[in-house]
Structures are given as structure tokens and as C-alpha cells.
């Protein structure tokens, strides 16, 4: 299978390596606007060649959009304008509602399968890509009823071959859940890191005293602004809703601490412990 991947960073690069490792891609053609990323992707064997977009689309059976989410909708329209009935287009973005709305009336909408592999790290660029990243992870397929059934079957078969479990959601539901389980985690990490850097002026003290709990909590703060600002702005209203509840819970905790209300503090922690039951399912 000839695959064209637009955007050869962490996700697109990992997808390319995974397809090659499983023998699913005979040729990977890359489209990459960053010259350093393009060179690195070729060095690492992520892409077999780098071409301009129009040339890269020719003969590709699968076209993958792995660019920042604010660029995906218009790019999707541009590509849908050019593809044939034999080609399939997927995206890997972590927001879906705006994308699905913009392409909803396109005559080639049925050739598009909206997907979100639920995996990522705090690192970016092709040098962060790994071949086994998607194994034992979930992938969400949105609005599959709007896509050609055979196209959906093929895309889902590819993801399953990479070791992923396929979930189905509508675009609105996906973006709401993503705000709660993914996007708020990054915001928390960013804000905790800036709080510590603001209040703890001695870098050596941070380095010497930071334990595993702090390190794991702020790990996501190393994530790229170029990736996350578009996600935050595209999913703005869901994230604002999550933030209101998050701030409310923080205020409850703060007030309990001010009053030395040990019973409430214990109740908060015990309820938080219930997340283990969910994650162990």
C-alpha cells in the first residue's frame, strides 16, 4: 500500500514507522513544510521520499493528515477536491467537531474517515517517533456513518493490525470527552509548571527536591505550544466548561484546607481514589 503522510512529526512519523514495521506500507511519501523535519524523516526511514502536496497525492491509497488541528479542516477540503474514488483520507487530530462540520457537505466526504489515535507524548518532531507507539491503545472513529463503509472497514483494519482497539463516537461527544481526559491534563501541567517557576526562584532547589510525583505531573508541560494552542482554541468551549468545574473543585479543596476541615479533605481524596476503578477496567 502506498501511503502519503502530511506532517512527519511525532504522530505522523510514528504511524509511518508502525505501518512499515507491520508490512502494511510498501511506500511512504511524506509532505513536510519544516525542512529540518523533512531531512530527519528521510534519515530515520520514516518517509521514503518527500514531495510537494499535489505530487504526493498521486497514486496514494491512504492519505493521512497529521498536522496541527487548526490546519486540518482547510487541508482536508483541499485534498478532498483532488482525490479519486479509490483513495481514502484520514486525519489524526484530537478535535473533530469543526473538521466534520466543514467537510460535511463536500461531495467526496464519503472518502474521509475522521480518526483520533489516543496516544501522544510530551515530545515532538520525527526524532520522537517510534514504531510501537499505537500498540494496546484506543483509536476513536467519528461520524463513521458519513464515510464509505468499505473505507471505514479498511481504516479500522489498519488500526487493528497496529494493535489498537477501535471506538466509535460522534464528533461533539469526542471533543467533550477529549477535553476532560486529555486537554485538561495538559493545562494542569502547564499551569503547575508556571506556578512553580514563578514561586520557586531557585532552579537548583526544584531540581534537587522534585520527586517522581512532581515529575510525572509536569511531564506534559514539555509539550509543544504549536501543537496545543490550536487544540485549546478549537475546543475552547468544552475546555472552558472543564476549567469551570476544575476551578470549582480547587476552591472547595482550598476552603477545606483553610478551615482545617480534615473530613472534607479525606472525602475529596477518597473520591479521587475511585479513578483507579475506572482505569483498571
For 58-76, how does the pLDDT look when each residue is reduced to its tens digit (9 = 90+)?
999 999 999 999 999 999 9
Instruction: Compute the average pLDDT of residues 170-191.
Output: 93
Instruction: Compute the average pLDDT of residues 184-203.
Output: 81
Choose between 170 and 207: higher pLDDT.
170
List of domains in the chain = 2-169 (3.40.50.720), 174-279 (1.10.3660.10)
Query: Over 60: is that where the pLDDT of 278 sits?
Result: no
At residue 277, the pLDDT reads 66
Rounded Cα–Cα distance for residues 131 and 10 (Å):
11
Query: Over 80: is that where the pLDDT of 281 sits?
Result: no
At residue 255, the pLDDT reads 96
- Decide: 112 and 62 in contact? Cβ < 8 Å: no
Query: Over 70: is that where the pLDDT of 157 sits?
Result: yes
Please, what's the b/e burial string for 121-157 (b: 16 or more CB within 10 A of its CB; e: otherwise)?
beebbbbbbebebbeeeebbbbbbebbbeebbebbbe
Closest CA to 126 of 219, 40, 15: 40
At residue 98, the pLDDT reads 97
pLDDT averaged over every residue in the chain: 92
Rounded Cα–Cα distance for residues 256 and 242 (Å):
21
Phi, psi of 190 (to 5 degrees): -60, -45
Rounded Cα–Cα distance for residues 230 and 116 (Å):
15
Q: pLDDT per residue over 126-148, tens digit each?
A: 999 999 999 999 999 999 999 99
Give the confidence band of 94 by pLDDT, cuts at 50, 70, 90. Answer: very high
Closest CA to 178 of 112, 239, 137: 239
Give the confidence band of 181 by pLDDT, cuts at 50, 70, 90. Answer: confident
Query: Using CB atoms within 10 A of its CB, is residue 34 exposed (0-12), middle (13-18) or buried (19+)?
Result: middle
Q: pLDDT per residue over 7-30, tens digit each?
A: 999 999 999 999 999 999 999 999
Cell 462540520 belongs to: 101
Rounded Cα–Cα distance for residues 5 and 274 (Å):
40
Percent of the chain past pLDDT 90, that is, above it, reads 81
Rounded Cα–Cα distance for residues 267 and 250 (Å):
14
Give the confidence band of 197 by pLDDT, cuts at 50, 70, 90. Answer: confident
Torsion of CA 223, 227, 233, 239, to 10 degrees: -40
At residue 193, the pLDDT reads 86
At residue 110, the pLDDT reads 98
Query: Over 80: is that where the pLDDT of 235 sits?
Result: yes
Poorest-pLDDT segment among 28-37, 39-48, 145-154, 223-232: 223-232
At residue 163, the pLDDT reads 97
Amino acid at each position: 500500500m502506498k501511503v502519503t503522510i502530511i506532517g512527519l512529526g511525532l504522530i505522523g512519523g510514528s504511524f509511518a514507522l508502525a505501518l512499515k514495521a507491520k508490512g502494511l506500507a510498501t511506500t511512504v511519501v511524506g509532505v513536510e513544510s519544516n525542512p529540518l523535519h523533512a531531512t530527519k524523516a528521510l534519515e530515520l526511514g520514516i518517509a521514503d521520499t518527500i514531495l510537494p502536496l499535489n505530487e504526493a497525492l498521486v497514486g496514494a491509497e491512504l492519505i493521512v493528515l497529521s498536522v496541527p488541528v487548526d490546519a486540518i479542516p482547510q487541508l482536508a477540503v483541499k485534498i478532498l477536491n483532488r482525490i479519486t474514488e479509490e483513495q481514502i483520507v484520514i486525519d489524526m487530530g484530537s478535535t473533530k467537531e469543526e473538521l466534520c462540520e466543514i467537510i460535511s457537505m463536500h461531495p467526496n466526504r464519503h472518502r474521509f474517515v475522521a480518526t483520533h489515535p489516543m496516544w501522544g507524548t510530551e515530545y515532538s518532531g520525527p526524532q520522537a517517533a517510534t514504531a510501537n507507539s499505537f500498540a494496546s491503545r484506543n483509536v476513536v472513529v467519528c461520524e463513521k456513518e458519513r464515510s464509505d463503509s468499505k473505507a471505514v472497514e479498511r481504516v479500522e483494519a489498519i488500526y487493528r493490525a497496529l494493535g489498537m482497539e477501535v471506538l466509535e463516537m460522534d464528533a461533539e461527544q469526542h471533543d467533550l470527552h477529549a477535553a476532560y481526559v486529555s486537554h485538561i491534563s495538559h493545562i494542569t501541567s502547564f499551569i503547575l509548571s508556571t506556578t512553580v517557576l514563578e514561586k520557586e526562584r531557585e532552579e537548583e532547589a526544584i531540581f534537587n527536591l522534585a520527586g517522581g510525583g512532581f515529575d510525572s505531573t509536569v511531564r506534559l508541560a514539555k509539550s509543544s505550544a504549536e501543537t496545543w494552542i490550536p487544540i485549546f482554541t478549537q475546543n475552547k468551549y468544552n475546555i472552558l466548561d472543564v476549567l469551570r468545574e476544575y476551578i470549582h473543585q480547587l476552591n472547595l479543596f482550598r476552603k477545606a484546607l483553610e478551615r482545617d476541615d480534615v473530613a472534607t479533605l479525606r472525602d475529596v481524596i477518597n473520591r479521587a481514589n475511585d479513578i483507579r476503578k475506572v482505569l483498571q477496567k
